[in-house]
Amino acid sequence: MRSAEVRRDTAETRIALSLTLEGSGAGKISTGCGFFDHMLTLFAAHGRFDLTVDCDGDLEVDAHHTVEDVGICLGRAFAEALGSKAGITRYGDILLPMDESLVAAAVDISGRGGAYVSLPTPAQKVGDFDCELAEEFFTAFARESGITLHLRLLCGGNSHHILEGAFKGLGRALKAAVAEDASLGGLLPSTKGVL
Protein backbone atom coordinates (compact mmCIF):
# COMPACT_ATOMS: atom_id res chain seq x y z
CA MET A 1 0.00 0.00 0.00
CA ARG A 2 1.36 3.39 -0.97
CA SER A 3 0.51 5.79 1.80
CA ALA A 4 1.80 8.82 3.70
CA GLU A 5 1.10 10.89 6.78
CA VAL A 6 1.92 14.58 6.96
CA ARG A 7 1.78 16.96 9.90
CA ARG A 8 2.31 20.69 9.57
CA ASP A 9 2.03 23.28 12.34
CA THR A 10 2.36 26.99 11.71
CA ALA A 11 1.11 30.15 13.40
CA GLU A 12 -1.84 30.01 10.94
CA THR A 13 -2.80 26.33 10.68
CA ARG A 14 -2.33 22.97 12.37
CA ILE A 15 -2.84 20.09 9.97
CA ALA A 16 -2.75 16.30 10.26
CA LEU A 17 -3.30 14.51 6.95
CA SER A 18 -3.12 10.88 5.87
CA LEU A 19 -3.39 9.49 2.36
CA THR A 20 -3.59 5.99 0.88
CA LEU A 21 -3.44 5.77 -2.90
CA GLU A 22 -4.99 2.28 -3.11
CA GLY A 23 -8.07 3.08 -1.11
CA SER A 24 -11.83 2.83 -1.22
CA GLY A 25 -12.46 6.55 -1.72
CA ALA A 26 -13.15 7.21 1.94
CA GLY A 27 -12.77 10.84 2.94
CA LYS A 28 -12.80 12.03 6.54
CA ILE A 29 -12.34 15.75 6.10
CA SER A 30 -12.57 18.50 8.71
CA THR A 31 -11.18 21.92 7.79
CA GLY A 32 -13.89 24.17 9.21
CA CYS A 33 -14.88 25.25 5.68
CA GLY A 34 -17.92 23.27 4.57
CA PHE A 35 -17.61 23.70 0.82
CA PHE A 36 -13.89 22.87 0.87
CA ASP A 37 -14.62 19.74 2.93
CA HIS A 38 -17.17 18.76 0.28
CA MET A 39 -14.66 19.28 -2.55
CA LEU A 40 -11.95 17.21 -0.82
CA THR A 41 -14.45 14.45 -0.10
CA LEU A 42 -15.37 14.35 -3.81
CA PHE A 43 -11.67 14.41 -4.79
CA ALA A 44 -10.99 11.37 -2.57
CA ALA A 45 -14.08 9.49 -3.73
CA HIS A 46 -13.39 9.96 -7.44
CA GLY A 47 -9.68 9.21 -7.08
CA ARG A 48 -10.44 6.16 -4.90
CA PHE A 49 -7.99 7.56 -2.36
CA ASP A 50 -8.43 7.18 1.38
CA LEU A 51 -7.93 10.69 2.71
CA THR A 52 -8.12 12.04 6.23
CA VAL A 53 -7.65 15.76 6.86
CA ASP A 54 -7.89 17.49 10.22
CA CYS A 55 -7.14 21.20 9.96
CA ASP A 56 -7.45 23.87 12.63
CA GLY A 57 -6.89 27.14 10.81
CA ASP A 58 -7.30 30.86 11.40
CA LEU A 59 -10.77 31.01 9.85
CA GLU A 60 -11.46 34.17 11.82
CA VAL A 61 -9.20 35.83 9.21
CA ASP A 62 -10.55 33.90 6.22
CA ALA A 63 -10.06 30.45 4.65
CA HIS A 64 -6.97 31.34 2.60
CA HIS A 65 -4.35 29.84 4.92
CA THR A 66 -6.48 26.75 5.53
CA VAL A 67 -7.01 26.04 1.83
CA GLU A 68 -3.43 26.73 0.75
CA ASP A 69 -1.85 24.82 3.63
CA VAL A 70 -4.05 21.77 3.05
CA GLY A 71 -2.86 21.90 -0.58
CA ILE A 72 0.75 21.95 0.65
CA CYS A 73 0.17 18.95 2.91
CA LEU A 74 -1.74 16.96 0.31
CA GLY A 75 0.99 17.61 -2.25
CA ARG A 76 3.67 16.42 0.18
CA ALA A 77 1.62 13.32 0.96
CA PHE A 78 1.31 12.45 -2.75
CA ALA A 79 5.06 12.91 -3.27
CA GLU A 80 5.84 10.67 -0.29
CA ALA A 81 3.28 8.00 -1.17
CA LEU A 82 4.52 7.81 -4.78
CA GLY A 83 8.10 7.24 -3.62
CA SER A 84 10.44 6.57 -6.55
CA LYS A 85 7.48 6.61 -9.00
CA ALA A 86 8.77 3.39 -10.56
CA GLY A 87 6.13 1.58 -12.57
CA ILE A 88 3.43 4.26 -12.46
CA THR A 89 1.33 5.18 -15.48
CA ARG A 90 2.45 8.83 -15.00
CA TYR A 91 -0.23 10.55 -17.12
CA GLY A 92 -3.94 10.89 -16.60
CA ASP A 93 -6.68 13.02 -18.13
CA ILE A 94 -10.44 13.30 -18.30
CA LEU A 95 -13.24 15.48 -19.57
CA LEU A 96 -15.54 15.76 -16.56
CA PRO A 97 -19.14 16.83 -17.13
CA MET A 98 -20.99 18.29 -14.15
CA ASP A 99 -24.45 19.18 -15.40
CA GLU A 100 -23.99 22.25 -17.65
CA SER A 101 -20.28 22.51 -16.83
CA LEU A 102 -17.47 20.66 -18.58
CA VAL A 103 -13.95 20.65 -17.13
CA ALA A 104 -10.79 19.24 -18.72
CA ALA A 105 -8.31 17.83 -16.18
CA ALA A 106 -4.88 16.47 -17.10
CA VAL A 107 -1.88 15.54 -14.96
CA ASP A 108 1.73 14.50 -15.48
CA ILE A 109 3.64 13.12 -12.50
CA SER A 110 6.75 14.70 -13.92
CA GLY A 111 8.68 15.96 -10.91
CA ARG A 112 8.13 19.46 -12.27
CA GLY A 113 5.24 20.83 -10.27
CA GLY A 114 3.07 23.45 -11.92
CA ALA A 115 -0.61 24.35 -11.99
CA TYR A 116 -2.14 25.80 -15.12
CA VAL A 117 -5.68 26.67 -14.14
CA SER A 118 -8.43 28.47 -16.04
CA LEU A 119 -11.67 28.07 -14.09
CA PRO A 120 -13.57 31.35 -14.35
CA THR A 121 -16.52 31.28 -11.98
CA PRO A 122 -19.45 33.68 -12.31
CA ALA A 123 -19.86 33.97 -8.54
CA GLN A 124 -17.21 35.26 -6.15
CA LYS A 125 -18.27 32.80 -3.44
CA VAL A 126 -19.95 29.43 -3.08
CA GLY A 127 -21.35 29.39 0.42
CA ASP A 128 -18.55 30.76 2.59
CA PHE A 129 -15.84 29.66 0.13
CA ASP A 130 -14.02 32.29 -1.95
CA CYS A 131 -13.85 30.77 -5.44
CA GLU A 132 -10.39 32.25 -6.06
CA LEU A 133 -9.03 29.98 -3.30
CA ALA A 134 -9.47 26.92 -5.52
CA GLU A 135 -6.53 28.04 -7.64
CA GLU A 136 -4.46 28.62 -4.48
CA PHE A 137 -5.15 25.02 -3.48
CA PHE A 138 -4.28 23.58 -6.90
CA THR A 139 -1.08 25.66 -7.09
CA ALA A 140 0.13 24.60 -3.64
CA PHE A 141 -0.72 20.96 -4.35
CA ALA A 142 1.08 20.92 -7.72
CA ARG A 143 4.19 22.66 -6.38
CA GLU A 144 4.61 20.33 -3.39
CA SER A 145 3.75 17.11 -5.22
CA GLY A 146 5.93 17.76 -8.26
CA ILE A 147 2.88 17.16 -10.47
CA THR A 148 2.06 19.23 -13.53
CA LEU A 149 -1.67 19.78 -13.65
CA HIS A 150 -3.97 21.49 -16.09
CA LEU A 151 -7.56 22.38 -15.26
CA ARG A 152 -9.63 24.21 -17.83
CA LEU A 153 -13.29 25.12 -17.97
CA LEU A 154 -14.69 24.33 -21.40
CA CYS A 155 -18.22 25.48 -20.63
CA GLY A 156 -20.39 26.15 -17.62
CA GLY A 157 -22.33 28.77 -15.75
CA ASN A 158 -22.75 27.52 -12.18
CA SER A 159 -19.79 28.19 -9.86
CA HIS A 160 -20.53 25.20 -7.62
CA HIS A 161 -20.65 22.87 -10.63
CA ILE A 162 -17.45 24.32 -12.12
CA LEU A 163 -15.42 23.78 -8.96
CA GLU A 164 -16.98 20.40 -8.32
CA GLY A 165 -16.05 19.33 -11.84
CA ALA A 166 -12.46 20.47 -11.24
CA PHE A 167 -12.01 18.56 -7.97
CA LYS A 168 -13.69 15.41 -9.32
CA GLY A 169 -11.70 15.67 -12.54
CA LEU A 170 -8.41 16.07 -10.70
CA GLY A 171 -9.20 13.02 -8.57
CA ARG A 172 -10.00 10.88 -11.60
CA ALA A 173 -6.97 12.08 -13.60
CA LEU A 174 -4.69 11.34 -10.63
CA LYS A 175 -6.26 7.90 -10.16
CA ALA A 176 -5.20 7.04 -13.70
CA ALA A 177 -1.72 8.58 -13.35
CA VAL A 178 -0.76 6.90 -10.06
CA ALA A 179 -1.96 3.48 -11.24
CA GLU A 180 0.77 0.90 -11.62
CA ASP A 181 1.48 -0.17 -15.20
CA ALA A 182 2.58 -3.82 -15.20
CA SER A 183 3.98 -3.48 -18.73
CA LEU A 184 6.72 -1.18 -17.39
CA GLY A 185 8.20 -3.96 -15.26
CA GLY A 186 8.86 -1.55 -12.42
CA LEU A 187 10.76 0.94 -14.57
CA LEU A 188 10.24 4.69 -14.51
CA PRO A 189 7.97 5.94 -17.31
CA SER A 190 10.64 8.31 -18.65
CA THR A 191 13.30 8.07 -21.32
CA LYS A 192 15.54 10.19 -19.07
CA GLY A 193 15.46 7.54 -16.36
CA VAL A 194 14.38 10.05 -13.75
CA LEU A 195 11.17 11.85 -12.76
Total tally of structural domains belonging to the chain = 1
Alpha-carbon dihedral sign for residues 62, 44, 47, 97: negative
Q: Give the model confidence (pLDDT) of 15-25 as tens digits.
A: 999 999 999 99
Range of the domain at 87: 3-184
Which of 78, 99, 83 minimizes the C-alpha distance to 149? Answer: 78
What does pTM read for this prediction? Answer: 0.96
Average pLDDT, the chain: 96
Whether the pLDDT of residue 193 is over 80: the answer is no
190 assigned to some structural domain: no
Give the CATH number, domain containing residue 179. Answer: 3.30.230.40
Q: Give the model confidence (pLDDT) of 90-105 as tens digits.
A: 999 999 999 999 999 9
Confidence tier at 42 by pLDDT (50, 70, 90): very high
